[in-house]
Structure 1
């Protein structure tokens, strides 16, 4: 989207002018995150999570690079290199490891909130489909990176998690067992698997960073969505990104870092599993094998299939687990409502909150033992999850009568219904 009222960068300093004429990086930064990038004036704190996700990725990359310098990717040495070498022998190694482990959890928390904000406010709708699609790609890359990273400490849960999760690929007809052996580099997790997972775990965050650049680029073309879902109609509907939203993002970042610090210093193992402090033993299977908490909803979907029907139950589970993520790619075309924001869609708003509860129930089931009660609850919740996207949302988008939309973002703000209220004095400053 072109913003004719946007301020244009004109460097005053001779050195900056010389740099900008030959490499317009200062102009690029100014237009991307400075006063040269106008954004809707009504964005609320739910729009902080994109910046927080970027900060979380930066923390993961920095801590991961240092940790990689001290990690030994072999089955004989991996566990000790993490729990003795890094934790005890490396200066501040314990801090780096706990910041990396809890930073991954915080990364997923802000990304999940970012996704559900997009679902509620219809940020996947035209003309922002590409922003959404790239976001789903980032989410898939995050999941792959996190799974491989969970294997590296080579504790009991790391080893058996790799054994179980890669074992599900063997359910794929004809090529399944070949894919599993190819992933592991053998018939069971060992040195080859550790080396492969370590290499990919180190590489993928940089791939994620590259896709994030495309994600932001795609966002800057149509501009940001907003709580009303109404497009910007003029200069009166926008404010410069800096200083209004840099200050707001800074406040959100301070809270994010405070929570991360509390986890690192006071509850470093609260989101982990105690079995991972026991060295991997291929001859001793843990009583209850679970992945990290951020995979629990998808693990519950995987375990929800217990009976063979045309295809083996194991294969159904694998297809459903991947399908639960892949169907997000089709959401922009499943929801045909012309109204974006859930604030003006009463039926969709109810379905959205039921989905939130459903995903939380799936997470609860995924972290619990596979007893009959949790299996049945997983089956019901998984059925609703797919019904929400494939049945409920398409039907609602056709039958629902949305509430009247405001004429503009400014009209909604002045009426107190548009999110953040920015004073007229501030706008004219």
Structure 2
């Protein structure tokens, strides 16, 4: 589809013309995120979090490369090298805190990005592959974050590696050999630290490659929007630049300011104090927990306490992995023809319950083990699977949805006609249905 406002890329100088003839990279960028890329005109601020995820991925790669110049991946040197970075390397404390807090912010914006996709039906046709590639990015993020958490070689790093890799031993026959293969031995030591450092350095670049595929897949059907209505003509769109570059830019600056507040004033608020104690295989911490972004899945893992046909530990591991893999099948679980939760009253109510349920799982995953917390985690875990396997198929089959707007333009104008629309958003046609 061509748009009257979409101007073709034209090199301005002799040098840019020479580059364009041999390597048309500027033309590619212009068509992907510049004035040549049409975007629905009604995107709200929840669509900014994809750009924010890209910003924090860049922060992690840049700070990680610098930290790797000073880090020693040895059992005797890992903890001391981190202390050396913090105390003796010029601005080392800043790079280390930026990297540690950047991981948390990367997960925050990614979780909001995922829940936005869940609410607005971004997993529905024709964007199933966009959704699945996003989940692949998320799984790679989890693997990268886990291995990065081990590298400081503090108490929580060591015992976190011991517990997390112990999950694989729950699988009969093959589980223990897989665990030994991952660690390079029978317990976390020099071999595990070396291979975790190698993979932690490599995987962010793999994530960047999958991000390129994610964006490429997105550009084929185009961006979704809060109404879930497809683009009909050029009146429904705006050029990505300058409209959305400006919107993304100021919002990103606001989030980066919040990130800076954590880096400079609360750098350890999202970490665990036990990780400032050198790893000691002979002293088990009183309360072993992973990083906060793993807590909901850790709660699901701990919810199985009774052997039933299979060992409870194996049920917990299967449920933990199943909670993520289940999301890959959402395009077929939710068969409603309406994408956006704005026009699905019953779906919206259950979505709010799901968000609360995940927050409860997060609390339970980080809390100390007690009968009350175990019971709360079991109820929340049961509801998580009930939502996707029972409630969502039922709602999508029997829900009475609200009328959709005639077009994106009519929703963006909130029922106003051309004469009453604010300057800059007139469409040349009259809107009939409010968004």
Normalising by structure 2, report the TM-score.
0.95
SS in 1 for 2:338: coil
Aligned partners of 1:56, 1:318: CA distance in 2, in Å? 30
Partner of 2:52: 52
Distance 1:240 1:163, change over 3 A: same
Aligned partners of 2:39, 2:13: CA distance in 1, in Å? 27
Partner of 1:157: 156
Runs ≥4 residues deviating over 6 A: none
Q: Does 2:310 match 1:318?
A: no
Structure having greater relative contact order (Cα 8 Å, sep ≥ 6): 1
Instruction: Measure how far apart 1:9 and its partner are.
Output: 1.2
Instruction: Measure how far apart 1:10 and its partner are.
Output: 2.0
SS in 2 for 1:394: helix
Partner of 1:275: 274
Aligned partners of 1:370, 1:88: CA distance in 2, in Å? 36
Instruction: Measure how far apart 1:300 and its partner are.
Output: 0.2
Instruction: Measure how far apart 1:271 and its partner are.
Output: 0.3
Instruction: Measure how far apart 1:11 and its partner are.
Output: 2.0
Distance 1:314 1:416, change over 3 A: farther
Kept in 2: contact 1:305–1:317 (CA 8 A): yes
Instruction: Measure how far apart 1:423 and its partner are.
Output: 4.5
Partner of 2:72: 72
Aligned partners of 1:422, 1:151: CA distance in 2, in Å? 56
SS in 1 for 2:228: coil
SS in 1 for 2:243: helix
What is the CA deviation profile of residues 278-310 of structure 1, one whole-angstrom value per residue up to 9, with x for unaligned ones? Answer: 000000000100000000000000000000000
SS in 2 for 1:193: helix
Kept in 2: contact 1:42–1:422 (CA 8 A): no
Partner of 1:31: 31
Map 1:24-423 → 2, pairs under 5 A: 24-83=24-83, 85-415=84-414, 423=422
SS in 2 for 1:425: coil
Partner of 2:13: 13
Instruction: Measure how far apart 1:424 and its partner are.
Output: 4.8
SS in 1 for 2:424: helix
Aligned partners of 1:359, 1:59: CA distance in 2, in Å? 27
What is the CA deviation profile of residues 218-260 of structure 1, one whole-angstrom value per residue up to 9, with x for unaligned ones? Answer: 0000000000000000000000000000000101110111011
Partner of 2:430: none
5+ residue gaps, structure 1:
none
What is the CA deviation profile of residues 102-124 of structure 1, one whole-angstrom value per residue up to 9, with x for unaligned ones? Answer: 00000000000000000000000
Q: CA RMSD in A?
A: 1.4
Instruction: Measure how far apart 1:21 and its partner are.
Output: 1.7
Aligned partners of 1:268, 1:422: CA distance in 2, in Å? 47
Instruction: Measure how far apart 1:14 and its partner are.
Output: 2.4
Kept in 2: contact 1:3–1:38 (CA 8 A): no
